[in-house]
A = this chain, B = another copy of it.
Amino acid sequence: MRVHIIGTGLLGASLGLALSAKGHQVTLEDTSPTAQQLAADLGAGQVLNSTAALAEAADPTVADDATSPAAHPDIVVVATPPDVAARVIASALEDYPNATVTDVASVKTRLLEAVRELVTEPQLDRYIGCHPMAGREKSGAIAAQSDLFTARPWVICSDEQTPADRLGEVIAMAEDTGASVLHLDPRIHDAAVAKVSHVPQIVSSLVASQLRHAPLEEISLAGQGLRDVTRIAASDPGLWTQILTGNAEEVRSVLIDLRTELDEVIGALELGPGSTGLLAKAIALGNEGHDRIPGKHGQPPTTYAVVTILVPDTPGMLARLFKDIGDLGVNVEDFRMDHASGRKLGMVDVSVVPAIQQELEIGLLSKGWQIPESAIEKEGTA
């Protein structure tokens, strides 16, 4: 298929990588020439000189050839920030009169209403709203990954008016990214993301916000629980303001329910020892909700084994470590270092294919490296 992607941020560039890898002809367009070129350099597709291509598209005598594959795209994917998505979708329906136009925005009801106001009824038949449920806390093409959508839900909001062939194209494209296609009504979609995405975002931000004025000695006690709860508190305020205002009604309704339960906990803490039943109930209700969350089968499976190596905090040691690993003929799939303050050691987690974990450990031990955990205890959780 010929796929034209407008907006080469994290989602657009990742989609380009995924579809290019599957052999589709991908063209890229972004209002930022730098972002557009970066995505192309990373392999997400070919930069489209939009003006030239549109001129070509408007002139039916110009043949569809390799120099301008986007002149007649089968699908146009709008992957812009949500606040301009409706306008860009409307333009795309206008500019590419034969293409199916889809998008990746995370709120669907209001967007559909906005698009409906901008386009004609026949044009609307070519628009199929989508929401691939994938993301990272980093943004931009630089954070793009060809496997970002692998095994992730890809919501398609079609209706009875949607032509079957156009729907089929969008499904095929989504499936080629490795995503799992789901069909949902826009309203059900928006209620769902309020609970599974938007409210968790707000609450994560509120928890992190309480740390703003905490003395550093208090924050130094932070553990993995806090890190998990607040990981998404690093998200972009601009993007999230757009998302939350787009889904204000659904989000507000869930937050009000949450506040009622919060008030019960605050009341119980005030009551003292007699209130343990109320506190236990709050945690138990959380257990109940937690148990309904599907397992990690939404995630690409962890396929790597992790070897943790203690590395003295002196210049040149990392180079020595990676030279030693290279000399062992081992390919490093991923790595990270945790640097403990006040200690003369860093801990480097090296991810490798499981089959060579033991070989790597034996090799590194023989070269004098310290590997505190045995292979048997350690699981790949990179």
Interface of A is mostly: helix
* Copies of the polypeptide in the assembly: 2
What are some 29 contacts across the A-B interface (CB < 8 A)?
A17-B343, A142-B308, A147-B340, A180-B342, A182-B217, A196-B214, A197-B221, A197-B225, A200-B226, A202-B262, A202-B282, A203-B203, A206-B265, A210-B257, A211-B292, A211-B293, A219-B294, A220-B298, A222-B298, A226-B293, A230-B290, A234-B291, A237-B283, A238-B280, A255-B266, A256-B266, A259-B262, A332-B337, A336-B336
Q: Which of A21, A43, A210 has the most CB of B within 10 A?
A: A210
The answer on a CB contact under 8 Å between A223 and B381 is no
Q: What per-residue 1/0 map shows which CB atoms of A227-247 lie under 8 Å from chain B?
A: 111111111111011001100
- State whether A209 touches B288 (Cβ < 8 A): yes
The CA of A7 and the CA of B339, in the complex, are separated in Å by: 23
Contact residues of A between 29 and 74, Cβ < 8 Å to B: 38, 41-43
Q: How far is the CA of A162 from the CA of B344 in the complex (A)?
A: 29
Closest 7 CB pairs of A and B: A205-B286, A146-B342, A192-B218, A208-B289, A211-B289, A319-B322, A237-B283
Contacts of A221 in B (CB 8 A): 133, 153, 155, 182, 189, 192-193, 196-197
Complex Cα distance, B20 from A156, in Å, reads 56
**In this assembly, does A338 line the interface, its C-beta being within 8 Å of a C-beta of chain B?**
yes
Q: Does A329 sit within 8 A of B, measured CB to CB?
A: yes
Q: Tell me if A356 is interfacial: C-beta within 8 Å of chain B.
A: no
Residues from chain B with a CB closer than 8 A to the CB of A337 are: 332, 334-336
- Other A-B pairs, 16, CB within 8 Å; known A220-B298, A241-B280: A17-B343, A43-B343, A145-B373, A151-B343, A152-B223, A192-B221, A202-B282, A203-B229, A208-B288, A208-B293, A211-B293, A222-B293, A233-B289, A244-B279, A259-B262, A318-B335
Give bound CA distance, A282 to B286, whole Å.
24
Nearest-Cβ distance from residue A113 to partner chain B, whole angstroms: 14
Which of A85-93, A97-105, A268-276, A357-365 is the contact stretch?
A268-276
